[in-house]
Amino acid sequence: MSDAKTALVTGASRGIGRAIAVALAREGMDVAVIATADSPAVQETVRLIEETGRKAYFAPCNVSDFAACGDCTAKLLEEVATIDVLVNNAGITRDKLLLQMQEKDFDDVIAVNLKGAFNMTKALLRHFLKNKSGTIINISSVVGLMGNAGQANYAASKAGLIGLTKSIAKEYAAKGIVCNAICPGYIETDMTGQMPQAAREKLQAAVPMQRPGLPEDVAAAAVFLSRAPYITGEVLRVDGGMYI
Ligand code: NAI
């Protein structure tokens, strides 16, 4: 077992999750990569972490499955000495206007984006309490702050994450556990790549910095929060000024 700190990043097969995983490895942490299943993308994240000289672990887990989160973290904790940082990054979209939105579109998005963070936090909370230390970073969205037409399910899940973040922060501040949220704006990833060109242009036009964000821009904020022991319950926008 290594003496390094270990971070667990959900949804780390690509995009923002991968960038956070690699940035934390560059900071000297070993990293557990969580994704629903193994894939060439997962292996590429593992390779990028190992390239920094840190250890990478891969654990398959669907974060919307409460029991699976418990099993996955229990198995990981047999391999790693400790988990110090939890980044709840896994997220999905099922964008539709409310009139067209089906019950399943709503439930699926809440299950991954909001309940997934609850599931993973619950799975590691006793470990953090035992350590008298833990850093939780929830990847929300500016859409959780301002709402967005066509994303009622997603905006609700991301606003919910902010409430979850602040509540966890209040409950466990005295126990050495900090919990913060990052709200990315418009970041160039596979997720936003699926959007129609016109929608992407409209989003970019709303960014005062006049460029889309990169996954590395969000990773920089995660690195900052991973070593900010006196910050808790904070909601940090990484949006090029989109929601000023
Ligand atoms: P992405 O779609 O490129 O990556 C999402 C990751 O989550 C993938 O690795 C995917 O396999 C994983 N994932 C999905 N469902 C899962 C499940 N049930 N269990 C485990 N892993 C699962 O998305 P992107 O853009 O990298 O987004 C990452 C996070 O940042 C998401 O929570 C997203 O909502 C949030 N975000 C993204 C923004 C953007 O502009 N790209 C803006 C604001 C927030």
The rounded distance, in Å, linking the Cα atoms of 154 and 160 is 10
Ligand 1 atom nearest 90 alpha carbon: 7
Strands ordered across the beta sheet of 30-35: 56-60, 30-35, 6-10, 85-88, 134-139, 177-184, 235-238
Q: Is the model's pLDDT at 3 over the cut of 90?
A: no
Best of 13, 14, 16 to mutate for ligand 1, by most ligand atoms within 8 A of CB?
A: 16
Q: Measure 91 CA to ligand 1 centroid, in angstroms.
A: 4
Q: Measure 139 CA to ligand 1 centroid, in angstroms.
A: 9
- The answer, yes or no, to whether any atom of ligand 1 lies below 6 A from the CB of 192, is yes
- The answer, yes or no, to whether any atom of ligand 1 lies below 6 A from the CB of 92, is yes
- 53: region left, alpha or beta (phi > 0 left; psi from -120 to 50 alpha): left
- The answer, yes or no, to whether any atom of ligand 1 lies below 6 A from the CB of 15, is yes
What are 117-138's pLDDT values in tens digits?
A: 999 999 999 999 999 999 999 9
CA of residue 30 relative to chain centroid, distance? 17
Ligand 1 atom nearest 41 alpha carbon: 9
* Reported pTM: 0.98
Q: Measure 167 CA to ligand 1 centroid, in angstroms.
A: 23
What are 59-112's pLDDT values in tens digits?
A: 999 999 999 999 999 999 999 999 999 999 999 999 999 999 999 999 999 999
DSSP label at 213? B
Mean pLDDT of the chain: 97
Q: Measure 181 CA to ligand 1 centroid, in angstroms.
A: 15
Residues with a known catalytic role: 154
The confidence band for 2, taking pLDDT boundaries of 50, 70 and 90, is low
112: closest CA among 62, 64, 181? 64
Q: Measure 215 CA to ligand 1 centroid, in angstroms.
A: 11
- The two three-digit tokens of residue 11, written as one number: 């949804």
Q: What is the DSSP string of 133-172?
A: -EEEEEE--THHHH--TTBHHHHHHHHHHHHHHHHHHHHH
| pLDDT, average across residues 182-194 | 96
117: closest CA among 166, 172, 73, 69? 69
What are 14-38's pLDDT values in tens digits?
A: 999 999 999 999 999 999 999 999 9
CB 104 within 8 A of CB 48: no
The rounded distance, in Å, linking the Cα atoms of 24 and 220 is 9
- The two three-digit tokens of residue 208, written as one number: 């005062």
- The answer, yes or no, to whether any atom of ligand 1 lies below 6 A from the CB of 88, is no
214: closest CA among 195, 238, 196, 198? 238
The confidence band for 43, taking pLDDT boundaries of 50, 70 and 90, is very high
The confidence band for 199, taking pLDDT boundaries of 50, 70 and 90, is confident
Helix, strand, coil percent values for the chain (each to nearest 5):
50, 15, 35
Best of 191, 194, 238 to mutate for ligand 1, by most ligand atoms within 8 A of CB?
A: 191
Q: HEC states along 7-36? A: EEEECCCCHHHHHHHHHHHHCCCEEEEEEC
- The answer, yes or no, to whether any atom of ligand 1 lies below 6 A from the CB of 62, is yes
Residue with tokens 């690195």: 223
- The answer, yes or no, to whether any atom of ligand 1 lies below 6 A from the CB of 31, is no
